[in-house]
Chain A
Amino acid sequence: MRQSDFRRLSLILLFAPFALWILLLIVLPHIGMGVLALREKVAPRVYEFGFGNFLEFMHEPIYWNTLIRTGSMSLLVTALALLIGFPIAYYIAKIAGPRSRGALFLVCLIPLWVSDLIRAFGWILLLRETGVISSALQAAGLIDAPVELLYNDATVVIGLVYTVILFMIVPLVSTLDGMDNAMIEAGYNLGGNGFTVLRRIIIPYAMPGIVAGCIIVFMLTAGSYLTPILLGGKYSSWFTETIYQQFITRYNWEGGAAFGFLLLAFTSAVVWIGLKLSRQTLAGTVAKS
């Protein structure tokens, strides 16, 4: 066999699983969903081509209210994850010594070993009316009656930030790690104070990592299902829950498929606006980290 044939064969063999995955699990379902979404139910078992499913979303305020609510809460979660994650990433990449760096990174990774479900139950054990925090506060005499800390927006946000923050820290650490310490020193040497150095040098330098982390975190949050349902209960009004209801409860696959596409379009639009505002490109951020 000639060298070039061999290389072509190995490329095909290596590429095949990836191509199959993309085709079978991403492309094919989306084509099916697309077909479903554009089918209008006019009578039992009678369908017509049309945009009725999308129009239903427009006409029913509760649907787009839920989508807007999901989007804005996801943005809040992203912002909080950035605010909390940046100092942690900065500490790991720039302040910690080379030996403790690896240990700290590992500590950040440990929660990933436990499934989302178990972690959400952890929060429930802590926050429910008969949970650890409520009992502890009662025992300390700070409150008279048990308090319910679950099933409100703050809990959902905290739980989501906890679930996704790792995906903010990893790209931030990798960009900050590539930054020469001399650049920070040069910032001070040329007369900048701590705030100027952060605003004019560290943040602009880390921008690709910040944007990459924000995109990943926003997509994960807006598409998450388990955490909002378990911590927010029936009031969580998360858009994925609406999609689930369409598919399972109402057995309206056409509506569910249309909502799925709407969520995809909405999150993609938010990411696109974010990229335009930060003057970054997808290739320079997510693809790099």
Chain B
Amino acid sequence: MTASSEFDLECEAVSKSFGPVRAVDEVSVKIPSGSFFSILGPSGCGKTTLMRMIAGFEDPSSGDIRIKGRSVVDVPPNKRNVKMVFQHLALFPMMNVYENIAYGLRCNGVGKAEIGRRVTDVLERIALPDVGERQIHQLSGGQKQRIAIARCMVLDPDVLLLDEPLGALDLKLREAMKIELKLLQHQFNTTFVYITHDQSEALVMSDRVAVMNNGRFEQIGTPQELYHRPASAFVAGFVGDANRWSGRVVEVSNPHARIETSAGLSALCALGNGQKLRPGDRVEVFVRPEFIRAERLNGAPTPDGNGLTGTVDSLLFNGANSRVLVRSKNAELIEADVTLTGGADDLKPGEAVRLSWSPEQAKCFAAEAATA
């Protein structure tokens, strides 16, 4: 194996402009073989355009796309070994399941007996062995999903692109399909590139995630890196939930900085990755709810670190992910994770509480000119 074909898909400074609008701006990424890679970003960030360029439906304005080390910029879409699962799946309603899967094989001139064998094989692998004769409208949402993936996987692609395929499913099925997709990816051992605006889909399934905003990749990393060590204010705000305060740097003492928020709270924060701040800079501070401890005020000595007191405004009960909404003295609302057991010990609205968090868990970033 040559050095370059360790990567199934490489993008090098790929850009795409529509008139004056730069939809994709100098995106470079190398996706290792056999990994589950997600591109996460808000709608309109250019992720679909990027995917359509990889599939060949759009030509990049500049840059190079390589599949298995070979440039495909001049290869038409039907000659690229990159298959795509469309947002609304685009199964062919006038064909039955068998014909849908056989379509690609027929296009490649595979023999009839071989087609039958491979279709049966792929239907078994997606655990739907008996649906070959069914019409598309007779399938459930989850089955359609799997057929759409099987239709691509039967062609043994180098890369499988998935364009928000779970968007149309209801919540319960979406949760189940997340796990199923991950298992299918392991089973086929093919590189999956998954596009989504749903951060939980990206975090749960992916080996690596690229966060995209305004046509650029803000950060590429494992889900844990993105969550715990975001590289920019956008990533910190977009991936996972966070309390977000804007404020000003009072003093810097690496690796911490003392911040005074616009609401008057003074807190010690960790500098975000690669941030160089000077006193007086405008910053944004992010603290995730699960790192904030909420305790009833009981006169015990105040622990070290950051903290403030307030009253419980309301409880947001959601099973294991329950939260408490605390109104601080300067009328700010802060979310903190709590365990609500249903016992008498639970926090109740109106109670005075103390919130505290360690400086390591408060990340500050230089404020962006235009906050997303």
CB atoms of B92 and A183 under 8 A apart: yes
Structural contact, A185 and B78, CB atoms closer than 8 A = no
A190-B103 in contact (CB<8A): yes
Per-residue CB proximity of A156-190 to B under 8 Å, as 1/0? 00000000000000000000000010110111111
Q: Which residues of A contact B93 (CB under 8 A)?
A: 205
In the complex, B65 has a CB within 8 A of chain A: no
- Which residues of the other chain, B, contact A193 by a CB distance below 8 angstroms? 78, 107
Which of A185, A191, A207 interacts with B86 by CB under 8 Å?
Answer: A185
Contact bitstring B77-88, A, C-beta under 8 A = 1, else 0: 111001110111
For the complex, give the distance between the alpha carbons of A205 and B104 in Å: 17
Contact of A186 among B56, B76, B90 (CB under 8 A): B90
- Whether A191 contacts B94 by the Cβ 8 Å rule is no
On whether the beta carbons of B155 and A190 are closer than 8 Å, the reply is yes
A271 to chain B, nearest CB (A): 22
Please state if B94 and A205 are interface contacts (CB–CB under 8 Å).
yes
Let me know if A190 and B55 touch, CB within 8 A.
no
Known: A180-B90, A207-B94. A189 touches B84 (CB 8 A): yes
- Report the minimal beta-carbon distance from B189 to chain A, rounded to whole angstroms: 21
Question: Bound state CA distance, A192 and B80, in angstroms?
Answer: 11
Query: Which residues of B have CB within 8 Å of A190?
Result: 78, 83, 103-104, 107, 151-152, 155
A189: chain B residues at CB < 8 Å are: 55-56, 77-78, 82-84
Q: Are B57 and A192 in contact (CB under 8 A)?
A: no
- Total interface residues on B, CB under 8 Å, equals 25
Complex: A204 Cα to B93 Cα, angstroms: 9
Across-interface contacts of A180 in B (CB, < 8 A): 88, 90
- Is B108 in the interface zone, CB < 8 Å from A? yes
**1/0 per residue A195-219: CB within 8 Å of B?**
0100011001101000000000000
The docked-state distance in angstroms from the alpha carbon of A189 to that of B92 is 13
Provided the pairs A192-B78, A196-B107 are in contact, do residues A186 and B86 lie with their beta carbons within 8 angstroms? Answer: yes
Q: Is the CB of A204 within 8 A of B94?
A: yes
Whole-angstrom CA separation of A180 from B93 in the bound complex: 11
Most buried by B among A180, A188, A201, A207: A188
Contact between chains at A185 and B92 (CB < 8 Å): no
Digitize B98-119: 1 where CB-to-A-CB distance is under 8 Å, 0 elsewhere. 0000011001100000000000
- Once the chains are docked, how many angstroms separate the CA of A186 from the CA of B83? 9
Measured CB to CB, the closest approach of chain A to B231, in angstroms, equals: 33
A-B contacts, 14 listed (Cβ < 8 Å)? A183-B90, A185-B57, A185-B77, A185-B90, A188-B78, A189-B84, A190-B103, A190-B152, A191-B79, A191-B104, A191-B107, A192-B104, A196-B107, A205-B94
A-B complex: 4 closest residue pairs judged by Cβ atoms: A190-B104, A191-B107, A182-B90, A186-B90
